[in-house]
Structure 1
Amino acid sequence: MEFPYAIGRAPTPPPGASAIEDCARPRRGFATVEELRRIDTRTLTIAGDDPRHPTQLARTLADVLADAVLAEATMSDLLVNADDLAHAFAPAIEQFLATSDRDF
C-alpha cells in the first residue's frame, strides 16, 4: 500500500542548517504502513482535496488506523477563511468528541 506523503522520514538536516530551514523541509512522519497500524489512538480523519492531501489518502488512512473515523466533511477550495472551516468541520469534530470514550 503506498502512502506518497504520509510515509517516509525527511532526511536529517545538513550540519549548520538554521531552524527556519529545518522547519521549511517537507515532513514525512512514518517510515512504513506498519508504523501507522500501531497507532491505537482514536483518530478523526478529514480528507483533503489537493495533490498533497488527496481524498483517497484519508480513506486509506481511516482503513489502516486501528480506531479511525473518516469525517463526512472534506477540504474544499470554497473554504477560504476560519469561519468557513469552522462551519464545515465543527459538526464532525463535535460528533467525534461526543462519541469518544475518553474525557477531553
Structure 2
Amino acid sequence: GEGFDHASLNRAFRELVAGADFVALAVNRTFRDADGLLSLDAGAFVAALEFASGRSPVVLGKPSPDFFLSALADLDCPAADAVMVGDDAESDVAGALNAGLGAALLVRAGKYR
C-alpha cells in the first residue's frame, strides 16, 4: 500500500544485500482495489528488489507449487483430484497447473480482465 515508497524499498534492499532472508508472500502483478480499479500488487516490489539485489525470493504463497501442495495435504486430497478456482491466470490457474493439480478454472470476478 502507501508504505511502499523509495525509502522503504531502499531499506529492504540494503537489508537484502547485507544478507537478510528474501521471503515474499506472493508475486501477484495486480489486485482489484476498493475503488474497483486495478492497483499494483506486491509482485512489482518483489521484482524491483530481486533485480536490484540480484537475489531470488522464496515465495510462500501463490504461484509457488508448495503453496498448493500444502493446502492439498491439509485436505488429504491428491493433486490430480483437485480443481483450483481463481481470478488470476498467472498466480491461480498457472500456479495450480504447474503444481500438478488436475484442473484450474479462471472466473470472471475479482481482478479478472
Q: Please report the TM-score for the alignment, with normalisation by the length of structure 1.
A: 0.30
Larger helix proportion, structure 1 or 2?
2
Larger strand proportion, structure 1 or 2?
2
Q: Please report the TM-score for the alignment, with normalisation by the length of structure 2.
A: 0.29
